[in-house]
Structure 1
């Protein structure tokens, strides 16, 4: 009886242990992402903006969310090109653009469009889902 009891318990444990794996495989098969992948773009961006006159600075920490690890590798590979375009975008800003929440949101969307444009130009498609400002400091 002890052997039969152990066999039944072993089968139950195997069944319970395999159930979450089956659900994870079903989610992956449906195309839903299992977990988000965030790529921080380091080091921080520190640029002067606003044209001639008094020097003004923006310091921004940026992360991008990607749909899969292949896109994460593409972002890492093209990081110098991405950083260049984001620096140029940040340096074109005016006081009006960085003063309001709406202006910062437009800047975030413009930076996301720059990232999409670079990846589509270089890779043919962009798997970047979104772009976030982790930190955004303006000094006038």
Structure 2
């Protein structure tokens, strides 16, 4: 599957692609949970159990996560830089997209051939139901 993806990407000329499969990912059924964060008129609101979580993984599933011995991990370096630069003006997913771009620009430099000239891309999994802005 990975080799096919690389070949397909070369054919696309490096163009981004979005895929949205509609398929079950398990057998659990979500009964939801009640929240009291609604308005006064609706004191309780039922939301999905997994709603309003965001996972920011340093790398895609199955891949190595790189770090610089002096500066730290590529992901945390990039996350801190992008938060410092954009936290007061951009929505969180916009910031994380910039983190992805920054990490993708890095390339490993190692004396070990198997570890030399390698890349990394973070994996952002969002179940957010609304935009998230940091307080000013």
Report the TM range for the smaller structure's normalisation. Answer: 0.3 to 0.5
Compare relative contact order (CA 8 Å, sep 6+) and give the higher one, 1 or 2. 1
| TM-score (normalizing by structure 1) | 0.37
| Greater C-alpha radius of gyration | 1
Which structure shows the bigger proportion of residues in strand conformation?
A: 1
